[in-house]
């Protein structure tokens, strides 16, 4: 008999956000792999659950070494429940290696959906949510962080990222320098907890606010870049260059459109007109 790996989202702070399926899984799993075993036991206690399976630690430093044993447990027919301190496993938290290892052996993997700081902050930000990207934690060193931010300079999608409270002021200060003070953002602090706070404004405004110090778990939502003014003639020239190099004109227009956000039809039609004049 084959067991299964269950990834389960845990409350960000408000215990009432725990799903009935999480409660049931905590009480029935053969193994509970937890980022912090003490927090796992406290969670079970708060939910009134008596755990019957063994609880093992599964955090960043031991994830690679512990995963093979947990995969073997699934292979032997056991149910392994994987939880982190808060939110969804694998999203800037342990879990990816376990999922990949189980998938590689064609072992069952399922997920109990629930709280996520990423989508909660996105929904509260007041920024466009139709397209977004998740960037994880910002680099700790300023030089690396500035390069990382530079990659978001022309990113049209809303970006969500995590940051430690003692570095949020440095992150926002660097963001002002790299992305400009007028870029809009939201800093979400202590989501779902009694001291929840969402600060919305420009990067310059938020950087000024953060100088006094910020406490708690932090999620930052950054507005996507506004489309830059484009020189259509220059873009058409790039399309024609690709076409002259052997690409189909439609494919060339599509490539430049994808890189610039300008309509493929606009580029194609302009390139056809330019070719007829040549």
Q: What is the pLDDT of residue 230?
A: 67
* pTM for the structure as a whole: 0.79
**Model confidence pLDDT, tens digit, residues 64-83:** 999 999 999 999 999 999 99
- Among 198, 196, 178, which residue's Cα sits nearest to residue 187? 198
**Model confidence pLDDT, tens digit, residues 46-57:** 999 999 999 999
For range 18-36, the mean pLDDT: 97
Six token digits for residue 52? 């019957």
Strands (E), the chain: 4-8, 31-34, 54-57, 79-83, 109-112, 132-137, 158-163, 184-189, 197-202, 218-222
Contact 81, 56 (CB under 8 A): no
Judged against a pLDDT cut of 60, whether residue 277 lies above it is answered with no
- Label residue 1 by pLDDT band (50, 70, 90): confident
Question: Exposed, middle or buried by CB within 10 Å (0-12, 13-18, 19+), for 41?
Answer: middle
**Model confidence pLDDT, tens digit, residues 98-134:** 999 999 999 999 999 999 999 999 999 999 999 999 9
User: What mean pLDDT, rounded, does the chain reach?
Assistant: 93
């Amino acid at each position: 008999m084959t067991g299964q790996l269950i990834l389960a989202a845990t409350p960000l702070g408000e215990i009432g956000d725990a799903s009935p399926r999480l409660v049931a899984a905590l009480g029935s799993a053969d193994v509970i792999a937890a980022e912090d075993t003490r927090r796992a036991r406290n969670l079970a206690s708060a939910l009134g659950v008596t755990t019957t399976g063994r609880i093992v630690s599964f955090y960043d430093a031991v994830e690679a070494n512990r995963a093979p044993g947990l995969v073997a447990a699934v292979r032997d027919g056991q149910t392994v429940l994987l939880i982190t301190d808060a939110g969804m496993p694998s999203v800037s938290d342990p879990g990816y290696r376990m999922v990949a290892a189980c998938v590689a052996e064609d072992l069952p993997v399922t997920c109990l959906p629930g709280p996520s700081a990423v989508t909660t902050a996105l929904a509260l930000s007041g920024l466009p949510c139709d397209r977004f990207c998740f960037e994880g934690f910002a680099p700790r060193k300023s030089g690396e962080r500035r390069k990382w931010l530079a990659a978001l300079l022309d990113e049209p999608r809303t970006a969500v990222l995590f940051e430690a409270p003692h570095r949020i002021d440095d992150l926002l200060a660097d963001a002002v320098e790299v992305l400009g003070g007028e870029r809009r953002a939201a800093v979400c602090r202590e989501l779902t907890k009694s001291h929840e706070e969402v600060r919305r404004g420009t990067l310059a405004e938020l950087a000024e606010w953060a100088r006094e110090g910020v406490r708690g778990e932090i999620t930052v939502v950054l507005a996507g870049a506004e489309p830059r003014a484009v020189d259509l003639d220059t873009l058409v020239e790039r399309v024609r260059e690709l076409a002259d190099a052997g690409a189909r004109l439609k494919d060339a227009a599509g490539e430049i459109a994808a890189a610039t956000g300008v309509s493929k039809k606009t580029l194609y039609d302009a390139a056809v007109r330019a070719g007829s004049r040549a």
